[in-house]
Structure 1
């Protein structure tokens, strides 16, 4: 085992020196992308803000995407999370997932080395531990994305009644739907405000209001927000009083939230009984019978 530590320490030192030297050289000499792109972006709007990924990291991200698969599912969740184009965002996510895989593999390798130094486990079992760490890192990164999407959608559901009421007040005061949407976006801070800001940006660049709200209904994963957008589209196309539609949407969302709360309480009724049965009831029995038990022993 002592012969193994020398190469590992040497490889770690070499990797650290290489990272420091490469980072210093990149900071010392800016790439042509940083020097040229800001001056030609007005004639080439397709050039993004961020430079393209390094060849090695880009190939690694593409290989990980081919191995894991599920690109459409990741694209849908990233679109629901918001921000960036699908191609750029999924590449960044794959690179982040690759980092999680490397981190999981490194932690599992450290545990395997400790077990090997203690003389426990065979080589095959320790290799399995390393492989399990890498797989667990990738799965945890994917699960983290799902958790962030669910948290964002929960925030959007909570903000929807307030947004609908504010938009109804703005329209009732005489403003157009676009002007009312602008006022709401400048007032609201949150996930739904960011989505409506994107809709407003599309409208300002020439997209029809109905088309922009149709896009919001298509990419969101929240049924209430989709119904809200579709209701606005129908009201604008058919001339339905928009204020009544918005107030009805807000009332429906609050009613749906109340039903969800009642259903959640019903599903967790058994879980709420666990502390009562296994904690409060035994303590009550002890307090009721312990004085009599002590009195019998004293007599």
Structure 2
């Protein structure tokens, strides 16, 4: 099959599809998305990011499909006009599709990582604000509502969902338990379990919050120290392999020059 024939087929297929009035690109794309399935747990990751609707998952997959199509079509034309074999073209297409999918998955994983780091970073300050509000005589729900009105960030957004669920009729303990299942944080999960147990048994919440505030501060300090240690090791790489050899070269260069002159003389 010649290059001209293949190019004609590539342009003829979309033309025939556009002529067909019963065909819908949106239905075709959504059908393709549902047939592919969710093998990489994208839905769970989007739910953790605060996008529980099916529409967000469909938009994510449609964006993958659109970017892949925009890259593949001109790539196929370029490879065909360069007279490459069909096997080479197929290998290139498979590689491009894999790279695009990997890029989107990696981007989503990075968002999840930043989301979890932000929650762990905001957790100590949120606990302190809640402790102060309870010490001033407010109820747990009113203290959470005050935090959601004045704060911002992923953790505050999760607390805002808790407030909305409680006002809609869900018990406070169940709303907190739902939050603990959504948020993938050990500190938040332990805090929610302690609060739920304290409320069910009638124990004072202030003491529980004080202990978890100290624990959260220690956890945050240890995390910062660990990150600082990793950064220190990474900073040693340019020092050892770049700056140190150049410094040694500058220190030894005059002596090497003199030795060369002495050898020539």
TM-score > 0.5, shorter chain as reference: yes
Deviation at 1:77, TM superposition (A): 1.3
| Paired position in structure 1 for 2:154 | 191
> Is the partner of 1:167 in helix, strand or coil?
helix
> Is the partner of 1:240 in helix, strand or coil?
coil
Whether 1:211 and 2:179 are equivalent positions in the alignment is no
Map residues 6-25 of structure 1 onto 2, 5 A cutoff: 7=8
Deviation at 1:298, TM superposition (A): 5.3
| Paired position in structure 2 for 1:117 | 81
What TM-score do you get using the length of structure 1 for normalisation? Answer: 0.74
> Is the partner of 1:142 in helix, strand or coil?
helix
| Paired position in structure 1 for 2:189 | 226
> Is the partner of 1:137 in helix, strand or coil?
helix
Deviation at 1:239, TM superposition (A): 2.5
Deviation at 1:216, TM superposition (A): 0.6
Verify the 8 A CA contact 1:102 1:134 in the aligned structure 2. no
Identify which of 115, 124, 127 aligns with 1:164: 127
Verify the 8 A CA contact 2:3 2:80 in the aligned structure 1. no
Deviation at 1:285, TM superposition (A): 0.5
Q: Which runs of 5+ in 2 are unaligned?
A: none
The more displaced of 92-101 and 164-173 is: 92-101
Deviation at 1:153, TM superposition (A): 1.2
Whether 1:78 and 2:46 are equivalent positions in the alignment is yes
Map residues 44-59 of structure 1 onto 2, 5 A cutoff: 54-59=26-31
Map residues 150-299 of structure 1 onto 2, 5 A cutoff: 150-267=113-230, 270-297=233-260
Q: Structure 1 194/12 Cα, relative in aligned 2: closer, same or farther at 3 Å? A: farther
- Give the RMSD, CA atoms, in angstroms: 3.0
Looking at structure 2, the residues matched to 185 and 201 of structure 1 have their Cα atoms a distance apart, in angstroms, of: 11
Whether 1:92 and 2:59 are equivalent positions in the alignment is yes
| Paired position in structure 1 for 2:34 | 62
The more displaced of 145-154 and 88-97 is: 88-97
> Is the partner of 1:174 in helix, strand or coil?
coil
Looking at structure 2, the residues matched to 227 and 89 of structure 1 have their Cα atoms a distance apart, in angstroms, of: 30
Q: Higher relative CO (CA 8 A, sep ≥ 6), structure 1 or 2?
A: 2
Verify the 8 A CA contact 1:101 1:136 in the aligned structure 2. no
Verify the 8 A CA contact 1:97 1:142 in the aligned structure 2. no
Deviation at 1:269, TM superposition (A): 5.5
